[in-house]
Amino acid sequence: MIFAGEYEHRIDPQGRVAIPARFKMAFVDGIVLGRAYDNCVVVYTPEEWERAAADISQQPNTASSARKLARLTFSGAYVGTLDRSGRVVIPAQLREYAGLGEDVIIVGTGRFIEIWSTVAWSEERRTLDTEATDIAERAPHAAPHRELAEIVIRQNEGETGG
């Protein structure tokens, strides 16, 4: 599944947030939440978590930066499941790390999703909008594959009814 779009959601008093309906099936086998590198919460499918964990674990443990990346990633990872209503508990440590209040934005980023505070996402979105051309030019293989672009367009059209 390709995760795309922005969704406004609320965290309830028990620390639970509903995963967007279109994404729920991707998490039937579990869900992994962790600290993202941009002060938000990253949400992985079990398969994507295994891939990310393998990439980090392959780094040489003789390098200080590799050890710090492993600590940052693995110490803040929480494995869970969705409840019958499609909600997941965001542990207090992750809510604090990302500055999450009651209102949050869930953002699709392709292979995983992110949960942002509304204020932090507004700032990030403004930066992305302002620097889009520079970001695309600096990114390796910046032009998306035609198939990926078509999938995202179909998903967005399904959302908007267009």
Question: Where along the chain do its domains lie?
Answer: 6-160
**CATH code of the domain occupying 6-160:** 3.40.1550.20
Q: The pTM is what?
A: 0.82
**Residue 136 pLDDT class (50, 70, 90 cuts):** confident
Q: What is the pLDDT of residue 142?
A: 46
Token pair listed for 51:
């891939």
**Residue 135 pLDDT class (50, 70, 90 cuts):** confident
57-61 average pLDDT score = 89
Q: What percent of the chain has pLDDT over 70?
A: 86
| Least confident piece of the model among 47-56, 103-112, 113-122, 131-140 | 131-140
Q: What is the pLDDT of residues 21-57, one digit of tens each?
A: 999 999 999 999 999 989 999 999 999 999 999 999 8
